[in-house]
Structure 1
Amino acid sequence: MRLSRAEIAARVAQDIPDGAYANLGIGVPTLVADYLPEGREIVLHTENGLLGMGPAPSEDEIDEDLINAGKIYVTEAPGAAYFHHADSFAMMRGGHLDYCVLGAFQVSEGGDLANWRTNSPSAIPGVGGAMDLAVGAKHVYVVMELFTKTGDCKLVVNCDYPLTGKACVERVYTDVALFEIREDGVNVLEIFDDASFEEVERQVGFALVDSTAEFATL
C-alpha cells in the first residue's frame, strides 16, 4: 500500500500552487515536473541555468543540450530563459524561489536537513546547490522513502549525518505518510500506507502529532 517514487512525486506536485517558481532536486524530486497539474503555471528552475524547465522528453524530443542539474534530459516550456551559473545561484540565494523539492538522507524533528553525504567512509560528497536552496527558498519540501534498506527511519530526533541546513524543512513527503514540521512538533497530515497513526508513530520512534482529521477538512 505504500506509495511508489512516482506516486510520491505526483503527490508533491499537487501542493505547488499556481504562479510558483520552484526548483526540483536530483532524483525523485525531478519526477515532480512530470506530474504538475494542467492549468497551473509553475515555473521550474534548475541551477545549471534554465528557468522554464518542462517535463522529461519523449524519445524523439531529446535535445542533448537540454539537461537539468542531475544530467537528465528535460524540455523547455514556452518563454524559457537561459543564464550564467552565477546568476542562477543568485536567484537561489536571493530568496527568489518560492519552493524547492529536495531528497534527503535524514530530516530531524526540528526540520534540520541532511542530504549531501552519509557517514560512510566510501560516501562521495555531493552537495551541489542544496545548501543554497535550503536557506534561499521560501518553502523547502523533502521527498524520501521513510525507511532505509536496513529498516532505519530517516525521520529522526537529531540528524546523525552532516547537515545541509538547520530548521529549513517544512514538509516531508514519504511513501508511508505526509509530515509537516510545526512549532508543536512533527504533524502527520496524511497516511498513505495501510496503517494507523499509532503504528506510524511507533515505526518512526518518537512522539508525533495527529493532524490527519484537520488536514482532511482543508
Structure 2
Amino acid sequence: MRLTRPQIAERIAQDIPDKAYVNLGIGVPTLVSDYLPDDRQIVLHTENGMLGMGRAATENEIDLDLINAGKIFVTEELGAAYFHHADSFAMMRGGHIDYCVMGAYQVSARGDLANWRTDSPRSIPGVGGAMDLAVGAKHVYVVMDLFSKSGECKLVEACTYPLTGAECVERVYTDVAVFELTRGNVRVLEIFDDLDLEQLSAIMGLPLIDARPTLVNVMAGTP
C-alpha cells in the first residue's frame, strides 16, 4: 500500500501553491514537474541556469541544449529565461526561491538535513546546490523512502551523517507517510501504508503527533 515514487511526486505537487518559484532537486524531485496542477502558475528554477523550466521532455520534444541540473531533458515554458550559473546560485542564496524539493539520506526530528554524503568510505560526496538551497529557500521539502534498503528509518532523532543544513526541513514526503517538522516535533499529516499511528511510531522509533484532519460525518436533520 506504500506509494510509488511517481505517486510521491504527485502528492508533493498538490502542496506547491500558485505563483511559487520552485527548485526541484535531482532524482524523484524532478518528477514533481510532471504533476503540477494546470490551474496554478508555478515557475520552476534549475540551478544550472534556467527559470521557467517545464516538465520532462518526451522523445519528440528533446532539445540537446535543454537539460536540468540532473541532466534530464526538459521542456521550456513561454517566457523561459537562461542565465549564468553564478546568477542562478545568487537567486538561491538571496532568498528568491519560495520552495525547494530535495532528496535526503537522513532528516532529523528538528529538521536537520543530511543529503550530501553518508558515513560509508565508498560514498561519493555530492553537494551541488543543496547547501545553498537549504539556507536560501523559504520552504524546504524533502522526498525520500522512509526506510533504507537495510530497514533503517531515515527520519531520525538526530542525524548521524554530515549535515547539509541545520533546522531547515519543513516537510518530509515518503512512501509511507507525510510528516511536518515543527519545533522538534514530528507531526503526521497523512499515512498511506496500512498502519495506525502507534504502529508507525514503534517501527520508526520516534514519538509522533497525529495531525491528520478529522473527518466528521454530519447526519441530515441532526441538530
Instruction: Give the shorter-chain TM-score range.
Output: over 0.9
CA shift at 1:184, angstroms? 5.8
- Matched to 1:79, the amino acid is G
Q: What CA deviation, in whole Å up to 9, does each residue of 1:79-125 have, x standing for no partner?
A: 00000000000000000000000000000001000000001101110
Partner in structure 2 of residue 81 of structure 1:
81
- Matched to 1:187, the amino acid is R
- Matched to 1:158, the amino acid is A
Q: Does 1:187 align with 2:184?
A: no
Partner in structure 1 of residue 201 of structure 2:
201
Aligned partners of 1:15, 1:57: CA distance in 2, in Å? 23
1:1-218 equivalences under 5 Å are: 1-183=1-183, 185-213=185-213
Aligned partners of 1:5, 1:108: CA distance in 2, in Å? 21
- Matched to 2:113, the amino acid is L
Contact conserved, 2:111 with 2:184, CA < 8 A, in 1?
no
Partner in structure 1 of residue 220 of structure 2:
none
- Matched to 1:10, the amino acid is E
Aligned partners of 1:72, 1:105: CA distance in 2, in Å? 22
Aligned partners of 2:64, 2:120: CA distance in 1, in Å? 34
CA shift at 1:183, angstroms? 2.0
Contact conserved, 2:109 with 2:184, CA < 8 A, in 1?
no
- Paired positions, count: 216
Q: Secondary structure at the match of 1:26?
A: coil
Aligned partners of 2:202, 2:14: CA distance in 1, in Å? 28
- Matched to 1:136, the amino acid is G
Aligned partners of 2:184, 2:135: CA distance in 1, in Å? 22
**Structure 2 runs not aligned, ≥5 long:** 217-223
Q: What CA deviation, in whole Å up to 9, does each residue of 1:145-168 have, x standing for no partner?
A: 000001000000010100000000
Q: What CA deviation, in whole Å up to 9, does each residue of 1:45-93 have, x standing for no partner?
A: 0000000000011101000110001111111011000000000000000
CA shift at 1:41, angstroms? 0.6
- Matched to 2:2, the amino acid is R
Aligned partners of 1:196, 1:125: CA distance in 2, in Å? 37
What's the TM-score once normalised by structure 2's chain length?
A: 0.95
What's the TM-score once normalised by structure 1's chain length?
A: 0.97
4+ residue runs of structure 1 moved beyond 3 angstroms? none
**Structure 1 runs not aligned, ≥5 long:** none
Q: Secondary structure at the match of 2:169?
A: coil
- Matched to 1:190, the amino acid is E
Q: What CA deviation, in whole Å up to 9, does each residue of 1:12-43 have, x standing for no partner?
A: 00000000000000000000000001110100
Q: Secondary structure at the match of 2:199?
A: helix
CA shift at 1:210, angstroms? 1.0
Larger Rg: 2
Aligned partners of 1:135, 1:183: CA distance in 2, in Å? 17
